[in-house]
Amino acid sequence: MPPLFAATTLRVDVGGVPAFDGLTLATTGEHVLVLGAARALFEAAAGLRAPARGSLLVEGSRPIDAVRSRAVAGAPRDPPMPPSWTVREYVTWSGRLSGHRRAAAGALASEALRRMQLEAMGKAKLGQATVPVRRATVIAAALATGAQAILVDDPLAGLPDAVLGPWARIASRALADRRTIFFAGRVPLESPIALAADEAIIVDRSHVAAQGAPAEIAASDRSLSLRLHGDVEGFARAVESRGGRVELATAGGVPPVHARVDLGPLANNDLFRIAGESGAVLIELRPLSSAFA
């Protein structure tokens, strides 16, 4: 089975400006979190935005081909929705527009509404529905295509605290038998969506800062993602001479340089001092575990 998502030196533009450039990654899991990436990465994966350069495959095919063949469906965050349509109409038409006949689309819609616990809301007008209901409707619409891989765009963003846990639990159960990628800025480790994930990928602009089991990344509170200018190799040697560990990578061959630093015996403040001594400029420092805060 091909990776659910694979990108090689990928560049995606928004408004003629790169959202990221040179991103290379490949998933290994069946239920994946992609955290910290520009929203344009979801849009490209879901076939909503064409790459400017590089290769992008979803379920082994170009995104637009994967969507057209119903191998993949996307669930964007808060798309425009016809306010006069009911929840059931929206979900049913998703199945129809993906190529299913009326009866099959109706059956798929009923199953999707059941999975997302929207059966009682089937006749509700979308213009009067709450944000949690509308977001659940979008996922139900993706399920109604019959796709076996579902890509979901930051569905927890801005939801009230009282809703987060129950909503995430419903969504994770509804998608348990599908290959999934949840794209988000961050996801609490205790969220059912994070607990159901078997892989997390932390993206820092055009660079993969970390990849592995969510719990392992969340526990690495002494691992940092850095961006630097200047003598970064001198900085790396100095950090390692003091007991830390540094992995350097460039984003598309263009500075600043991205690095992962495991602090070892060092403190965060030591990195600024070492940067000054070695002729490097530390632009940004971010704990990897912050993606699960």
**pLDDT value of position 124:** 98
| pLDDT by 10s per residue, the chain, length 293 | 899 999 999 999 999 999 999 999 999 999 999 999 999 999 999 999 999 999 999 999 999 999 999 999 999 999 999 999 999 999 999 999 999 999 999 999 999 999 999 999 999 999 999 999 999 999 999 999 999 999 999 999 999 999 999 999 999 999 999 999 999 999 999 999 999 999 999 999 899 999 999 999 999 889 999 999 999 999 999 999 999 999 987 544 456 888 999 999 999 999 999 999 999 999 999 999 999 98
241 contact partners, CB below 8 Å, separation of at least 6: none
Confidence (pLDDT) at 81 = 98
Q: DSSP secondary structure string, the chain? A: ---SEEEEEEEEEETTEEEEEEEEEE---SEEEEES--HHHHHHHTTSS--SEEEEEETTB-HHHHHHTTSEEEE-SS----TTSBHHHHHHHHHHHTT--HHHHHHHHHHHHHHTT-GGGTT-BGGGS-HHHHHHHHHHHHHTTT-SEEEEE-TTTT--HHHHHHHHHHHHHHTTTSEEEEEES---TTSHHHHH-SEEEEEETTEEEEEE-HHHHHH-TTEEEEEEEE-HHHHHHHHHHTT-EEEEEEETTEEEEEEEEE-TT--HHHHHHHHHHHTEEEEEEEEGGGGG-
CB 33 within 8 A of CB 25: no
CATH class of 5-217: alpha beta
Domain ranges of the chain: 5-217, 220-292
Task: Give the pTM.
Answer: 0.92
Question: Do 5-217 and 220-292 have matching folds?
Answer: no
In the numeric block, the tokens 């055009």 are attached to 206
The pair of structure tokens assigned to 148 is 């076996």
Q: What is the third-level CATH fold of 220-292?
A: Alpha-Beta Plaits (3.30.70)
pLDDT at 113: 98
- CA 86 centroid distance within chain: 29
